[in-house]
Amino acid sequence: MKRIWINVLTVLIYIGSQFFVLIPNIYFMKQGLSESDAFLKSIPYYVASFIVASILVIFINTRIKNKTKLERLPKSDTLATIGWIVGGFFISLFAQMIFGMINTYILHQPLESQNTKNIMDIAKAAPVFIILIAIVGPILEEFVFRKVIFGELYEVIKGPRWLAFTIALLISGFIFSAAHNDFDHTLIYMGMSLVFSSLYVLTNRIIVPIAAHMLMNAFVVIMQVVFADKVEEAQEQLKQTTQFIAPIIKSYLNL
Nearest alpha-carbon partner for 147 in 205, 195, 192, 92: 205
**What does each C-alpha distance from 195 to 51, 85, 162, 232 come to in angstroms?**
25, 11, 15, 26
Our CA angle for 204, 174, 179, nearest 5°, is 95
Task: Select which of 112, 141, 142, 155 is catalytic.
Answer: 141
Cα 92 from chain centre: 11
CB 181 within 8 A of CB 66: no
State the distance between the two ends of the chain, measured CA to CA, in whole angstroms: 53
Q: Does 233 participate in catalysis according to the annotation?
A: no
Q: How many CB atoms lie within 10 A of CB 78?
A: 8
Q: How far is the C-alpha of 62 from the C-alpha of 192, rounded, in Å?
A: 26
What is the b/e burial string over 117-138, where b = at least 16 CB atoms within 10 angstroms of the residue's CB? eebbebbeebeebbbbbbbbbb
Residue 161 backbone phi and psi in degrees, to 5: -65, -30
Please, which residues have CB within 8 angstroms of residue 224's CB and are 6 or more apart in sequence? 116, 120, 231
Question: Strand, helix or coil at 218?
Answer: helix
For the chain, the farthest-separated pair of C-alpha atoms sits apart, in whole angstroms, at 62
List active site positions: 141
